[in-house]
Structure 1
Amino acid sequence: MFFSIVSFFPLINSTHWIFRIFDFIRLQLSVILLFLLLARPFLSVSNSIIGLLTIFLIAISFVYQLSIILPYFPKSKNKSITPKHNIVAICINVKQENQDYERLIRVVKSVQPDILLTIETNKKWEQNLKEIEGDFSNIIRVPKDNRYGMHLYTKLDLKDFNIHYLISKEHPSIEVKLTDSKKDDFIFWGIHPPPPSPTEKPTSKQKDAELMKVAKLARKSMTPMIVSGDFNNVSWSKASRLFSKISNLKDARINRGIYSTFPANLLIFGFPIDLLFHSNTVTVNKIKVLTSIGSDHLPLQFMFHINSKVDTNKELNSNLKSLANQKIMEGKEAAKNEN
């Protein structure tokens, strides 16, 4: 009965972590619910009304969980497509306390990405990654010791960049405008909003607000766009789906695969929180989870190309706009009360 009840916790309109956490473990809950259904003949479950109601609730909960995660299962094999103008990127939360710098350096040297986004990188990480700096023509450095530092390395031509502090002065995001080999411009966002958890923020208000800010900025842009980073949010959560609607960006995992990236050492309990969204003008050709670098996250590699120069965005629905503005206001208030 417990597993059936908590399956529906994310439907409760609360931003507290105790309700949001059950969004993260839908895969694991689905397996547990399926096991309970299959094990029913071997369990001493009575045929009373309460017993039958319990089995019915378990079945309904399993179907509900499946309806949410099923769109993320691949419809066809994720084939490797390598068009002439393919761009290779790696996004990795390195875990600030991790000191296994050489493992990341080996991955970078092996993959040779055009874009490398590192998250939770401080000055110490920056200094220990000096070896790879010569491989990149442009580097954006935002070192921090609060686990929200960020660095972006790229071999592509850099036309412009902004370091945003969207909700809090403690949580930067990087926005860069790059040019590919065909001379097509695109925007790449690297984000890392704070998670709701017992050790971080009590609610998801700041995270949701930061996602809504990025989504509104993405909606206004007509330039091809990629948004990647540690969202501290699973692909199928209400916040991720709202982000997709407001930004008019696609979740690259839909019909492709789940690609769990956290926790690195317990992927049987893993879920996807290093996310990837893209505009209609961008084609993602491949997604791959790379080998561990000693962090609690696994690196996410993806390949993409620009398929059109200009997007055609529709006006944002007034109800969605109001909802986004409300969440931004709540997030700002939560950040203000924290200071």
Structure 2
Amino acid sequence: MRRGLAIAAGAGLALLGAASLLPLLETDAWWVRYLDFPRMQFAGLIVLFWIAMVALGGIGHGAARWLTVLAIAALSYHGWRLWPYQPLAQVAAPMTESCAPGDRISVLVANLRRDNRDAEAVLALLRDAEPDLFLAMETGPWWDEALAPLGETYPEIVQHVPKDATHYGMHLYSKLPLERVEFRFPFASDTPMLFADVLHPAARLRFIGLHPRPPLAPDQPTTLRDATLLLAGREAWATPLPAIVAGDLNAAPWERTARRMLRLGGLVDPRAGRGPMPSFDAQSAWMKWPLDTVLWRPGPGLMAFEILPEVGSDHLPVRAELCLTGGATQHPPAPYPGDAEEAEATFAAARRLGGSDG
């Protein structure tokens, strides 16, 4: 019995080790890239399976030795990927100690989930949080009508309400004037990217909202998602204005494309040095990772970044408050040689897949 359990633990350890290292492959295959999400869970399970295998003591020494090497390799890789998002790592955006109220801007991001019908929870959250900008995703005709009362508070409302792909509707509600507003569909995707200039009294800002498709099916590789993230980074870098990038990225921040997006855009991630702060899955006790976020180019200082209570969706809302008159020195990840070339290769692959120039 003990030997059988030890062998089962060893087999589980082998599978976890292989699953942990598979994303090292340069591939857009959805099932490989999806393995980037549960790195925290994989790391914890590897430790538990290794302890079980050793404690049961029923597996040959040679096999146990090689499985231990595999476990160390997998844990090392997880540690390298997860390190920037642990509390012992360098904080990318130190808190700004003081800021005049008129120099602040707050942004709230929420994937509402298209079949969620708890509009009152969303409206109550907004009454409590009072953000200057509210980016709502997975909206459709029902949400367009349910959120209509926000028009009393948010004079600027822009929306994309698709007739078919209702997973990917998007609304932006703003207390501040907006200019140069446009929805783009890069690489012929059906997932909108929103671009808008926000006219805050303290500064003019460039806002980029996005919600690419996740890797979830054989006909849904990561190509378009990766290209969308990298495009957001490139656009953030190109604008002469302070840039804010917000949305449901459908990529964990430690995933290689997400990190490349930060480097290309010179973007600050408020989670770096603070912990993963998961926003998905709100309805799971342990399969959780951060997907929803607010990022920005260094310049604005950070006053607050928080995960808010659930509103009936499988995503938790995220709120950031920034000080537009600046703050402490911030630390976006340094660019790598070849980042621009890798991004161009991803754009080319997305154009071939989507049939668009992007």
Give the TM-score of the pair, scaled to structure 2. Answer: 0.85
Instruction: Write the mapping of 1:123-162 to structure 2, written as runs, cut at 5 A.
Output: 123-145=141-163, 146=165, 147-162=167-182
Query: Aligned match of 2:200 in 164, 180, 185?
Result: 180
Spell out, residue by residue over 1:21-40, the C-alpha distance to the aligned partner (whole angstroms, 9 max, x if none).
Answer: 11000010011012234434
1:81 and 1:213 map into 2 onto residues whose CA distance is 33
What's the counterpart of residue 271 of structure 1? 289
Aligned residues: 329
93-102 or 273-282, which deviates more:
273-282
Query: Aligned match of 1:163 in 148, 160, 183?
Result: 183
Q: Secondary structure at the residue paired with 2:173? A: strand
Are 1:61 and 2:46 an aligned pair? no
Query: Aligned match of 2:248 in 224, 230, 252?
Result: 230
Query: Aligned match of 1:192 in 211, 219, 225?
Result: 211
Shift, 1:240, TM fit? 0.3
Spell out, residue by residue over 1:232-290, the C-alpha distance to the aligned partner (whole angstroms, 9 max, x if none).
Answer: 11100011011112122122211122111111111421001113321011223221111
Spell out, residue by residue over 1:178-221, the C-alpha distance to the aligned partner (whole angstroms, 9 max, x if none).
Answer: 12232x1111111011112127x431011111122222222211
Spell out, residue by residue over 1:44-66, the C-alpha distance to the aligned partner (whole angstroms, 9 max, x if none).
Answer: 24352221111222123123212
Are 1:13 and 2:16 an aligned pair? no
Contact map agreement 1:161 1:176 (CA 8 A) in 2: yes
Are 1:3 and 2:22 an aligned pair? no
Contact map agreement 2:233 2:261 (CA 8 A) in 1: yes
Contact map agreement 2:215 2:222 (CA 8 A) in 1: yes
Give the TM-score of the pair, scaled to structure 1. Answer: 0.90
CA separation of 1:276 and 1:2: change in aligned 2, threshold 3 A: same
Contact map agreement 2:95 2:302 (CA 8 A) in 1: no
Query: Aligned match of 1:95 in 101, 105, 113?
Result: 113
Contact map agreement 1:224 1:308 (CA 8 A) in 2: no
Instruction: Write the mapping of 1:1-339 to structure 2, written as runs, cut at 5 A.
Output: 1-46=14-59, 48-75=61-88, 83-84=99-100, 85-145=103-163, 146=165, 147-182=167-202, 184-198=203-217, 201-307=219-325, 319-336=338-355
CA separation of 1:94 and 1:19: change in aligned 2, threshold 3 A: same
1:80 and 1:103 map into 2 onto residues whose CA distance is 30
Shift, 1:74, TM fit? 2.4
1:177 and 1:106 map into 2 onto residues whose CA distance is 27
Q: Secondary structure at the residue paired with 1:251? A: coil
Q: Secondary structure at the residue paired with 2:180? A: strand
Contact map agreement 1:142 1:149 (CA 8 A) in 2: yes
Spell out, residue by residue over 1:73-128, the C-alpha distance to the aligned partner (whole angstroms, 9 max, x if none).
Answer: 22489879562222111101111111111111111111111110000111211111
Contact map agreement 2:301 2:326 (CA 8 A) in 1: no
CA separation of 1:6 and 1:144: change in aligned 2, threshold 3 A: same
1:262 aligned partner, one-letter code: F
Contact map agreement 1:176 1:188 (CA 8 A) in 2: yes
31-40 or 214-223, which deviates more:
31-40
Contact map agreement 1:235 1:275 (CA 8 A) in 2: no
Contact map agreement 1:209 1:332 (CA 8 A) in 2: no
2:215 and 2:189 map into 1 onto residues whose CA distance is 18
CA separation of 1:80 and 1:35: change in aligned 2, threshold 3 A: farther
2:177 aligned partner, one-letter code: D
Aligned-residue CA RMSD (Å): 2.3
5+ residue gaps, structure 1, are 310-315
Contact map agreement 2:282 2:288 (CA 8 A) in 1: yes
137-146 or 1-10, which deviates more:
137-146
Contact map agreement 1:148 1:192 (CA 8 A) in 2: yes
